[in-house]
Amino acid sequence: MKKILLQTTIPYTADDWNITRFSMLRAHLRDGGFDVTSRDKEDLTRIDQSDFDQMWLIAVDTGSGLSAKECEAIARFNKGGRGLLVARDHQDLGSSVCTIDGIGTAHHFHSRNLDPDTAHRTRDDQQARDIDWPNFHSGQNGEYQRIRAAGDRHPLLAREDGSTIEWFPAHPHEGDVSAPPSDHSARVIATGTSKTTGHAFNLIVALEGNGKRGPGVAESSFHHFCDYNWDPRAGAPSFVTDPAGDEVVRDPKRLGDIKRYVRNAARWLAAK
């Protein structure tokens, strides 16, 4: 049985995005036949010496969640052929990941590893005035966003019947990812559309590795995976003040797309 480490970048704090707020993701991965260890921040300086086959890193820190030595060990883990998914969020949330060699360069923040496209260095979401760019508005928490496959459809976006995944949980201020020019195995595989400006933005970058490292997935927001966005009745930390929608509660069938994507990602990260 393939082993997945699902870990946040913060110590347990009740009123924050601790690992218990990703219980539905953990359960879905386990139902898919994976051995999942889920935990809040623990030392990762020897993760490359562990027996995990892949790691899903939920970066919810404000910039100091990972040390330089931890980032080096995570890079060794990935270079050793094992899979790595890194999800962050708006502005500088999760910015400690950007020094992970390889996948870290796919993540752009407000004050670190800025997007080379200066057009993306501007406020998109206009509701939360205390959150600066990158903050792409794909919809309210509790709503869906329609996503689009970029280029040839990647296997991560295939439904069981062969059609293409179309719906992801929405979030009012997603982060910024792009394919690092230095990694020819990397490409944007899905985009979303801002409900503020109508502009497209990158949702997912897949890094194939091509023998130089294991596969990787860079996600614009951890809100694609948390309980609150799969069911807003699960609640959120008190600092979340954006009004939540009820679309996923009224029409839970479309959650099948994100759940299929999760299974696809786990299998793809494990198969390389």
* 8 A C-beta contact, residue 140 and residue 244: yes
Per-residue confidence at 255, pLDDT binned at 50, 70, 90? very high
pLDDT at 101 over 70: yes
pLDDT at 139 over 60: yes
pLDDT of residue 5: 98
Residue given tokens 């889920």 in the structure block: 38
Return the amino acid letter for 134. Answer: P
Beta strand 167-169 with 200-207: parallel, antiparallel or unpaired? unpaired
Domain segments of the chain as ranges: 3-271
The 10s digit of each residue's pLDDT in 52-96 is 999 999 999 999 999 999 999 999 999 999 999 999 999 999 999
Considering the domain delimited by 3-271, tell me its CATH architecture: 3-Layer(aba) Sandwich (3.40)
The 10s digit of each residue's pLDDT in 217-230 is 999 999 999 999 99
Model confidence, pTM:
0.97
pLDDT at 210 over 90: no
Among candidates 130, 129, 117, 103, which has minimal Cα distance to 207? 103
pLDDT of residue 232: 97
pLDDT at 168 over 60: yes
CA distance 133 to 121: 6
pLDDT, the chain, mean: 96
CA distance 195 to 207: 28
The 10s digit of each residue's pLDDT in 178-206 is 999 989 999 999 999 999 999 999 999 99
pLDDT of residue 272: 56
CA distance 130 to 88: 18
